[in-house]
Chains A and B, each alone.
Chain A
Amino acid sequence: MFKKILIANRGEIALRIIRAAKELSIKTVAVYSEIDRDSLHVRFADESVCIGPAAAQESYLNIPRVIAACEITGADAVHPGYGFLAENAKFAEICEEHLVKFIGPSLEAIKRMGHKAEAIKIAKKAGVPVIPGCDEITSDRQAQKVADKIGYPVIIKASAGGGGKGMRIVREEENLVPSLLLAKREAEAAFSNSHIYLEKYIVKPRHVEIQLLADNFGNMIHLGERDCSIQFRHQKLLEESPSGAVDAKLRKKMGEMALKIAKQARYTNVGTVEFLLDENGNFYFIEMNTRIQVEHPVTEAVTGTDLVKEQIRLAAGEKLKYHQKDIPFWGHAIECRINAVDPFNGFSPSSGKITHFYMAGGPGVRIDSYVYAGYEVPSFYDPLIAKIIVHAPSREEAISRMERTLEECVIENIATTIPLHLKIMRDEDFKQNKVDTHFLEEKEW
């Protein structure tokens, strides 16, 4: 087992890792930027090393400084958390070269599943459904053939694009050819590249992901799903488990598919396979996240596991102690991400000093936060300041518990997403589980 873990991260996840390490009697090293000197992870760790000025490029993303910090403290393992260097294959490689164990998937697994196109190839090879379509539209005729094959509605996307530009939804066959022309023109104007491709358009999709755990000996299990449909600009805001659209049968099917992909990729440690689920119970592979995720507590609640501790154990070479049949799925868990942003003003960031801070408590409530009264929220990093997770016997009770919890919490002098989450908890559609990835944008709050 490791003697000392260096946490190459900050904020709430750094605290999370320190807590797991402490429970395993492993010493911890925090690295921090100058502006994070008073951050809680620095105080909680056994040792700390300042690695640079505020800018992430000069500190948390600075590989030589992070490795040097391992050297001078004698750390024998590094936990990269999420974001920053967590999925950086180069960093994982350098850790290996310097005999510091990277707590996460193997270098090969990160490389293989890190590239979206590569991951889709692996999924296809594993026999897992991906979103049907074609890589490039060469002619109107070819497009029509593809569209007929995959079925309407379809979506035309720009190959060089993003941000919703050069995207057109086509619901009827007769609109296809004119839409192709318009999409080509838009793509040319926005990206100077008129190449377009076609995909099946998933109506009212849910974002459903499967959590996996794998040891270094080929043993793997899934820990059920998380529904992360409530998003704003593709950023997750709220996650829950189980998903309202997934029953035991579908869970088994999706879990098996996720494991097939992981086996094909010879995956190790933690990972999450993301799917889009349509209203008819069809699911399609999107991508795989080769790291511990923000919303992992939701799975920990319903399965009674400690995923970060498991990460450390698996990285240290221990065998996976669970069998698939050992994993229970009990009750319902919801996580609300509390970000330092103004949700009713375009989610603009709100930095500044927190003057009052009181977190809720009581049964089935878990708070993962790194801020405190008197703390100055910096503007340089991710605005996530707290995660509120509730667990209750049913979804109805979980919603009521989350509403109660959000009302109790006090965070003053900065704007947060708490009022938005309260609105969600009180929303009829949410209560009836009428949720998909367009939920928030359609609400126009």
Chain B
Amino acid sequence: MNLREIKELSNLMDEKQVVELEIEETGVFRTKIRKASGEIRPALTSTSAKPREITCEEKEQEEKEEFTTITSPLVGTFFRASAPQNPPYVEAGDNISKGQMLCNIVAMKTQNEVRSEAEGEMVEVLAENGHPVEYGQGLFLVRPFIKKNLATENTEDTEKIKDFL
């Protein structure tokens, strides 16, 4: 099979909307022509009909909306435990409750306790142990416990799905 023949076959595939073709002439050759998947039939998925590129920013935004950042209420040095030899108050993965002790911020030789305002799952510790922090600096990323109604979460996509039906 030469190139011209392959080309002809390819055009035929387009015409007939064939995605994949395998030809074998026993003992002579074997070829498989596969077209890049196009919109032959719209797939009923939760993404909209036109494949939309979700940008990095949007993905981050989606993620951020799920999370709460606990920020520093003071200027000082951030410590994750009550003393160097003690274990940290919290670790990623812990469930934290309101009023729970999270860290100490030392300023002017005074230890200032920072307690949680949120209830949820500790996702990430943002500040480094023993390092200085400024007012408003992110200390902890928490996924708060909020009940989500998944059925009505993405109304735009639900509308598009309706169009196909």
Show the binding face of A for B, using Cβ within 8 Å.
Answer: 34, 49-53, 59, 64-65, 67-69, 71-73, 98
Contacts and interface: CB of A to CB of B under 8 A. Distances in A.
Contacts of B137: 50
State the main secondary structure of chain A at its contact with B. Answer: helix
B132 A64 contact: no
Given A69-B134, A98-B108, 18 more contacts: A34-B135, A49-B75, A49-B132, A50-B75, A50-B137, A53-B135, A53-B136, A59-B135, A64-B74, A64-B107, A64-B108, A65-B74, A65-B107, A68-B108, A71-B107, A71-B108, A72-B77, A72-B132
B120 interface: no
Contact of A51 (B75, B77, B108, B132): B75
B107 to A, nearest CB: 4
Contacts of A64: 74, 107-108
3 smallest A-B Cβ distances: which pairs?
A72-B132, A68-B107, A68-B75
27 contacts: A34-B136, A49-B135, A50-B75, A50-B134, A50-B135, A52-B135, A53-B135, A53-B136, A59-B135, A64-B107, A65-B135, A67-B107, A67-B108, A68-B74, A68-B76, A68-B107, A68-B108, A69-B134, A71-B107, A71-B108, A72-B75, A72-B76, A72-B77, A72-B132, A72-B133, A72-B134, A73-B132
A37 to B, nearest CB: 9
Interface residues of B, number: 12
A71 B78 CA distance: 13
Contacts, number: 46
A65 B136 contact: no
Interface string B75-114: 1110000000000000000000000000000011000000
Contact of B75 (A34, A53, A69, A98): A69
A49 B107 contact: no
Contacts of B76: 68, 71-72
A98 B107 CA distance: 11
Contacts of B132: 49, 72-73
A381 B108 CA distance: 27
Contacts of B108: 64, 67-68, 71, 98
B113 to A, nearest CB: 15
